[in-house]
Amino acid sequence: MPVPRVPRRREPLQDVAGPGRKRVLLASPRGYCAGVDRAVIAVEKALERFGAPVYVRKQIVHNIHVVTELEKQGAIFVDEVDEVPEGAHVVFSAHGVSPAVVNAASDRGLRAIDATCPLVTKVHREAVRFARDDFEILLIGHEGHEEVEGTAGEAPEHVTIVNSPEEADAIEVRDPSKVVWLSQTTLSVDETMETVRRLRARFPQLQDPPSDDICYATQNRQVAIKKVAKDADLVIVVGSANSSNSVRLVEVALEHGAKAAYRVDYADEVEQAWLDGVETVGVTSGASVPEVLVQQVLDDLAAAGYRDVEQVRTAEEDLMFSLPKELRQDAAGKRDDRALGGRSRA
Ligand code: 0JX
Ligand code: SF4
């Protein structure tokens, strides 16, 4: 299932004469969030506890490097639970699953380990609750994204997906007095608020979610890149193409003053031409990105003369989650309630 890696640049970046002061603005927070840390450790622990192979439904997080490294340790990534041998262990990804997937796994006798981020589970619970109260749920998010499929699957009869602000203008509802909006956790905050504004213009009684669905990590990374982008000639976002929150960082950077912004999986995708005439390079990474990949970008930039690295910190993060409950007992049957998270904090 993982996309094979295509090597890009063969030559190291060159330190060509250019603008006077070359520097890097390094956004913080960036990289791993607490939910990703927990999900990746869950796969590692499952391998340790039960031995290889451990099956994982979908990519545990949307990062090709993480997936490739876990494959080397014995994880097998599948698209659906019917590809998993009966009785085997299967980990559900950080993005969550619908009840239909949970039931399919159980019907197959699989031993499921649920690595859904607790902040995604929170949105699932909201969907269940509003559906029970017979609300129509306008779920702002990208159709086809695993998280949206999982959340919508909690109450398919009650959910309408709203992909964009433009779609908000055309949505029809059954009863405008019983409508609530919820959202995917990894969207652009500004674009989502624009979608909500347009929805509310049409349905003034639209209810808000009980608390923010766009999670702290998504919000913090966007705030940090906005601050960096206003002073950056170029922004490099480390993250995979299917990582919603990483792709949003490129868009946010461009909307907030970056003259150019690109996403890369690996340092060797940074092109020499991107650096032409560039004084300030902003660097950040999505919530599913190990810090080592950012360090490789910084090393390559240093070789090109961008050795002066300044952190631009807009928040501290210390949220941690405990392991999925299926992994909280150690091999001897003792509970392991250690909290996780923040391994890769800046
Ligand atoms: O595509 P997403 O941004 O939702 O996922 P990714 O890149 O794996 O990020 C971390 C997991 C997020 C779950 O909400
Ligand atoms: Fe959880 Fe947010 Fe990380 Fe998604 S991005 S795994 S919702 S903390």
Percent of all residues in the chain with a pLDDT value above 70, rounded to a whole number: 92
Catalytic residue flag (residue 172): no
Tell me the best of 151, 215, 244, 247 to mutate to test the pocket of ligand 1, counting ligand atoms within 8 Å of each CB and taking the most.
244
- Check residue 107 and give its pLDDT: 98
Average pLDDT over residues 40-69: 98
- Check residue 329 and give its pLDDT: 73
Q: Whose Cα sits closest to atom 6 in ligand 2?
A: 35
Helix or strand (DSSP H, E) at 100: helix 99-107
**Confidence class for position 145, pLDDT limits 50, 70, 90:** very high
pLDDT value at 131 more than 80 = yes
Pocket of ligand 1 (CB under 6 A): 35-36, 61-62, 94-95, 117, 120, 147, 185-186, 243-246, 286-288
In 3-state terms the chain splits into helix, strand, coil percentages (rounded to 5) of 35, 20, 45
pLDDT value at 345 more than 50 = no
- Other beta carbons within 10 angstroms of residue 104's beta carbon come to 17
- Check residue 242 and give its pLDDT: 98
Residue 279 C-alpha to ligand 1 middle, in angstroms?
Answer: 31
Structure tokens at 133: 């109260």
Residue 61 C-alpha to ligand 2 middle, in angstroms?
Answer: 10
SS3 210: coil
218 CB near ligand 2 (under 6 Å): yes
Residues 126, 136, 146, 147: which is the catalytic one? 147
199-250 per-position pLDDT tens digit: 999 999 999 999 999 999 999 999 999 999 999 999 999 999 999 999 999 9
Q: What is the rounded distance in angstroms from the CA atom of residue 80 to the CA atom of residue 315?
A: 38
- Check residue 125 and give its pLDDT: 98
Contact status, residue 124 vs residue 154, Cβ threshold 8 Å: yes
pLDDT value at 336 more than 90 = no
Average pLDDT over residues 44-48: 98
Separation in Å, CA 17 to CA 10, 23, 30, 283: 21, 14, 30, 21
SS3 106: helix
Average pLDDT over the chain reads: 94
Strand order in the sheet with 75-78: 75-78, 54-57, 89-92, 111-114
DSSP of 18-85:
-SS--EEEEEES-S--HHHHHHHHHHHHHHHHH-S-EEEES-SSS-HHHHHHHHHTTEEEESSGGGSP
pLDDT value at 2 more than 90 = no
- Check residue 203 and give its pLDDT: 98
Average pLDDT over residues 300-328: 97
Average pLDDT over residues 150-165: 98
Contact status, residue 207 vs residue 236, Cβ threshold 8 Å: no
pLDDT value at 4 more than 80 = no
Residue 2 C-alpha to ligand 2 middle, in angstroms?
Answer: 21
pLDDT value at 339 more than 60 = no
Q: What is the rounded distance in angstroms from the CA atom of residue 210 to the CA atom of residue 139?
A: 14
- Other beta carbons within 10 angstroms of residue 205's beta carbon come to 11
DSSP 146: H
Percent of all residues in the chain with a pLDDT value above 90, rounded to a whole number: 90
- Name residues whose C-beta falls within 8 Å of residue 300's C-beta, 6 or more positions apart in sequence: 12, 13, 267, 268, 270
184 CB near ligand 2 (under 6 Å): no
From the CA of 248, the nearest ligand is 1
Q: What is the rounded distance in angstroms from the CA atom of residue 5 to the CA atom of residue 66?
A: 12
Higher pLDDT, 340 or 260: 260
Q: Whose Cα sits closest to atom 2 in ligand 2?
A: 215
The residue length of the chain stands at 346
Q: Whose Cα sits closest to atom 9 in ligand 1?
A: 288
pLDDT value at 331 more than 80 = no
Higher pLDDT, 8 or 121: 121
Residue 276 C-alpha to ligand 2 middle, in angstroms?
Answer: 35
pTM for the predicted model, two decimal places = 0.94
pLDDT value at 337 more than 80 = no
Separation in Å, CA 99 to CA 36, 155, 161, 265, 269: 21, 9, 18, 32, 39
Name the pairing type of β-strands 234-238 and 89-92: unpaired
249 CB near ligand 2 (under 6 Å): no
Tell me the best of 36, 220, 221, 247 to mutate to test the pocket of ligand 2, counting ligand atoms within 8 Å of each CB and taking the most.
36
**Confidence class for position 341, pLDDT limits 50, 70, 90:** very low
CA dihedral 37, 38, 41, 42 (to 10 degrees): -150
Counting from 1 in the atom list of ligand 1, the atom nearest the Cα of 240 is 7
